[in-house]
Amino acid sequence: MTNSKIEIQNILPNTKLTCFVIPSLFSKAECEELLNVNRKESFQKAISNYPTYYRNNERFVTDDNELSIQLFKKVKPYLPKIIKIDSSIKAENGIWKIKELNNRLRFCKYSENQYFNRHLDGIHYRNETTQSKLTFMIYLNNASEFKGGRTLFYETKETDKIWASYIPKQGDLIVFDHNVWHEGELVKQGEKYVLRSDILYSKQVTKQIQKPFTGHLGYIWSILKINDNTILSGGRDKEIKSWNIFGKQMHSLNGHLNSILSIEKISNNIFISGSRDRKIIVWKDFKKINTIEIHSAIVLSLCRIDNNTFASSSGDNTVKISNLKGTVLQTFKEHKNWVWKVIKLSQDIIASSSEDGTIKIWDCKIEKSINTFFENCSIISLTYNKLTRQLISGNLKGEITIRTLSKDYHQVGIKTFKAHSGIIRTIKLINHNQIATGGEDNKVKIWDLNGQILSEFEHQNFVQSIELLDKETIISASYDGTIKTWKIKTTANNGYN
């Protein structure tokens, strides 16, 4: 039975998207019990798992079956019993029936100058038939205890216009669709506390013909072609899958405890993978042969140096050179924030791009940078055109910068052009005249190196990784859980592959 005195407040006007508040569903005493002394003393910075452009608050994560069952029992009468979805992503379509609350509970603390910038909440996949559809968030204290800290909603990622806002009140529960853009406004003074989880729904699935490259649950972070017949992919479902070039799944590898963010080929039968679990796994003939733990935060990027040595970059702000046994040979510590990408320029020279707005050139024979390039925002993606000595970077503002380097890796030329309306997540060199880029505007774009767009394709969510299948075909991986194949036109006799 629902409490007849409670009036549900719909937050978003003129939309079919779910977004409502249940005022005072939880009492002051219940909120204080949820935010008990032990939990208050357990908050940790989110920086080891999330970049500062995205969020900088503190949180405490716990898996608590008993508490999630209690919370779900209280809120269930107010929730949609079914959700009907008609999406271009066929796996999402159908009638979803309410099931339970995700037992992973995230207690969040926002102190002065802390925020959670505009984003969509990620889907939690229990399995193919059960996944989260709605965000569940309890405000654990009143807005009178802090300044700022509203929950803001937007119709799109790009708009400056606030669609709706809500001022937190202790005990209120807000529920909204994962497809609603929102942010936790900057707290200017005091402390704000919330408890967040996800409401899971399930559906019956009839057996369907397996389409090419289907099988991952949720975000796909990385794809890599390791030979003429095999493609690897890694995702949020903690699995590495191998496919033939037609998209038939050949292997499914388990070993990581969290999202797989990077995969790199070392030799014909060895590759390595890096994960949010802070581990690097060495695989030989599709079997795990070693687990390497050398970073204190998320592993973001991997780069082959030779058949026994690789570079890795991390959310611990470092770049490390290690061998396949896990022995660290060198550590580069000059970056001040996450190191998003590390790439090889020559046998002894590597480059890295960072959340701190710099690209650093490193000589592997010494533990210091030999040059630094500066931009005014995070540099997320990086690649190098060896033939033309062009270092190509993509940043937070959706800009591509092409730097021409001298033989001693100093900048002798530079040009920048706007490529995407969102963050550029990946850059792939197609040939010495063309690149493919993927961004948070859901687009895959093909460019010549003068900044002229040649082709454009689209996913339903962020484009995270691009790989070249052959001279006229690329594949792209997305947060929408798909790997797609695109035909492109390239310059003939380009001399670079």
pLDDT digits (tens, 9 = 90+) for 65-75: 999 999 999 99
Query: 459 pLDDT exceeds 70?
Result: yes
Instruction: State residue 313's pLDDT score.
Output: 98
The two tokens of residue 177 are: 């669709």
Q: For residue range 314-370, list pLDDT tens digits in order.
A: 999 999 999 999 999 999 999 999 999 999 999 999 999 999 999 999 999 888 999
Instruction: State residue 127's pLDDT score.
Output: 87
Contacts of residue 387, Cβ cutoff 8 Å, sequence gap at least 6: 432, 495, 496
Q: What angle do CA 396, 401, 403 make, to 5 degrees?
A: 140
Contacts of residue 20, Cβ cutoff 8 Å, sequence gap at least 6: 8, 9, 10, 11, 174, 175, 176
Mean pLDDT estimate for the chain: 94
Instruction: State residue 46's pLDDT score.
Output: 84
Distance CA 428, CA 496 (A): 13
Distance CA 176, CA 148 (A): 21
Q: pTM of the prediction?
A: 0.92
Instruction: State residue 47's pLDDT score.
Output: 82
Q: Using an 8 Å Cβ cutoff, are 475 and 467 in contact?
A: yes
Distance CA 172, CA 147 (A): 18
Q: What angle do CA 368, 369, 372 make, to 5 degrees?
A: 155
Token look-up 């996450």 returns 338
Instruction: State residue 495's pLDDT score.
Output: 40
Query: 493 pLDDT exceeds 50?
Result: no
| CA–CA distances in Å: residue 131 to residues 18, 168, 181 | 16, 27, 19
User: What are the domain boundaries of the chain?
Assistant: 9-202, 220-487
Q: Over range 452-463, report the average pLDDT.
A: 96
Instruction: State residue 49's pLDDT score.
Output: 85
Distance CA 163, CA 155 (A): 6
Query: 2 pLDDT exceeds 60?
Result: no
Question: Could you tell me which residue, 16 or 383, shows the higher pLDDT?
Answer: 383
Share of the chain above pLDDT 70, in %: 96
Q: How many residues does the chain have?
A: 497
DSSP annotation of 400: E
Query: 210 pLDDT exceeds 70?
Result: yes
Q: Using an 8 Å Cβ cutoff, are 370 and 396 in contact?
A: no
Instruction: State residue 204's pLDDT score.
Output: 83
Query: 300 pLDDT exceeds 50?
Result: yes
Distance CA 432, CA 162 (A): 43
Q: Using an 8 Å Cβ cutoff, are 279 and 257 in contact?
A: yes
CATH class of 9-202: mainly beta
Token look-up 């454009």 returns 456
Instruction: State residue 490's pLDDT score.
Output: 75
Name which of 482, 377, 464 is nearest 426 in CA terms.
464
Instruction: State residue 207's pLDDT score.
Output: 67
Q: What angle do CA 383, 385, 390 make, to 5 degrees?
A: 90
Name which of 155, 172, 150, 85 is nearest 123 in CA terms.
85
Output the DSSP codes for 447-488.
EETTS-EEEEEE-SS-EEEEEEEETTEEEEEETTS-EEEEE-
Domains 9-202 and 220-487 in one fold: no
Distance CA 328, CA 413 (A): 35
Instruction: State residue 1's pLDDT score.
Output: 41
Distance CA 389, CA 221 (A): 28
Give exposure, 219-258, as e/b (b: 16+ Cβ within 10 Å). bbbbbbbbeeebbbbbbbbbbbbbbebebebeeebebbee
Query: 473 pLDDT exceeds 80?
Result: yes
Question: Could you tell me which residue, 88 or 80, shows the higher pLDDT?
Answer: 80
pLDDT band of 88, cuts 50, 70, 90: low
CATH of 220-487, one of 1.10.40.30, 2.130.10.10, 1.10.1660.10, 3.40.605.10: 2.130.10.10
Query: 497 pLDDT exceeds 50?
Result: no
Q: What is the dihedral of CA 317, 321, 327, 332, to 10 degrees?
A: -40
Q: What is the dihedral of CA 484, 490, 493, 497, to 10 degrees?
A: -40
47-61, 95-109, 175-189, 234-248, range with the lowest pLDDT: 47-61
Query: 14 pLDDT exceeds 50?
Result: yes
Q: What is the CA radius of gyration of the chain?
A: 23
Instruction: State residue 91's pLDDT score.
Output: 64
In three-state secondary structure terms, 40 is: helix
